[in-house]
């Protein structure tokens, strides 16, 4: 972790110690919540940590959250954290207390890979890239029920990155 400081023409980075991650193995995903109150780290070993920011007080320290964490994203209100695994599963966590809220539903031949919450505040959706055999899909989940409300084939090959614009009008893969 690095602290960024300086002026408009002189940017500096200062390495910061993070005791909760001091002896952790390689981390696949690191994410700050939208409101800046939480920090999450997901390891190659499947270990998931959610902490209060900047105090680093542990909310969740789950060594077996996944086989290996693949991707993660915080909801706009920072209430939820979505995580995906290399085994194709996806979980939703309550960030207030670290409770595993639910698994996202998927067909047996589907692997959920990347996940992003809508960020505009009007569309309560979670977008996920899904691999179904040799088909790459984009699935949409309603975050009030966590039910899948649809999917669409957008690419001819698996997505390697997923991003949603702040106004919610654009999705990049």
Q: How far apart, in whole angstroms, are the C-alpha atoms of residue 50 and residue 97?
A: 9
| Residue 25 in domain | no
- pLDDT, position 89: 98
Identify the CA nearest to 168 among candidates 113, 115, 125, 112: 125
Q: Is the bond preceding residue 29 a cis peptide, omega within 30 degrees? A: no
The count of structural domains within the chain is: 1
Q: How far apart, in whole angstroms, are the C-alpha atoms of residue 71 and residue 112?
A: 10
Reported as a single tens digit per residue, the pLDDT across 39-76 is 999 999 999 999 999 999 999 999 999 999 999 999 99
Q: Are 74 and 80 in contact (CB under 8 A)?
A: yes
| Residue 119 in domain | yes
| Residue 62 in domain | no
DSSP states along 136-165: EEEEEEETTTTEEEEEEEEESS--S--EE-
Q: Which two tokens stand for residue 151?
A: 């999917």
- pLDDT, position 19: 86
| Residue 53 in domain | no
CATH number at residue 159: 2.120.10.30
| Residue 99 in domain | yes
- pLDDT, position 121: 78
Reported as a single tens digit per residue, the pLDDT across 16-38 is 888 888 888 999 999 999 999 99
Reported as a single tens digit per residue, the pLDDT across 128-141 is 999 998 899 999 99
Taking the alpha carbons at both ends of the chain, their separation in whole angstroms is 27
Reported as a single tens digit per residue, the pLDDT across 141-154 is 999 999 999 999 98
Q: How far apart, in whole angstroms, are the C-alpha atoms of residue 150 and residue 156?
A: 18
| Residue 52 in domain | no
| Residue 91 in domain | yes
Reported as a single tens digit per residue, the pLDDT across 72-122 is 999 999 999 999 999 999 999 999 999 999 999 999 999 999 999 998 877
Q: How far apart, in whole angstroms, are the C-alpha atoms of residue 130 and residue 156?
A: 12
| Residue 59 in domain | no
Q: Are 49 and 21 in contact (CB under 8 A)?
A: yes
What domain range is 138 assigned to? 69-172
């Amino acid at each position: 972790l690095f602290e960024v400081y300086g002026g408009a023409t002189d940017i500096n980075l200062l390495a910061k110690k993070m005791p909760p991650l001091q002896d952790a193995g390689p981390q696949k995903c690191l994410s700050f919540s939208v409101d800046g109150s939480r920090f999450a780290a997901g390891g190659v070993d499947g270990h998931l940590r959610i902490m209060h920011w900047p105090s680093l007080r542990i909310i969740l320290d789950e060594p077996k959250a996944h086989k290996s964490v693949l991707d993660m994203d915080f909801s706009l209100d920072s209430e939820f954290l979505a995580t995906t695994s290399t085994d194709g599963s996806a979980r939703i966590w309550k960030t207030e207390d670290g409770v595993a809220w639910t698994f996202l539903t998927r067909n047996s031949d589907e692997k959920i890979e990347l996940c992003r919450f809508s960020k505009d505040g009007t569309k309560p959706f979670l977008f996920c890239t899904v691999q179904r055999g040799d088909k790459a899909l984009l699935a949409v989940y309603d975050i009030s029920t966590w039910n899948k409300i649809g999917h669409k084939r957008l690419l001819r090959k698996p997505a390697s990155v997923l991003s949603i614009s702040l106004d919610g009008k654009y999705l990049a893969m």
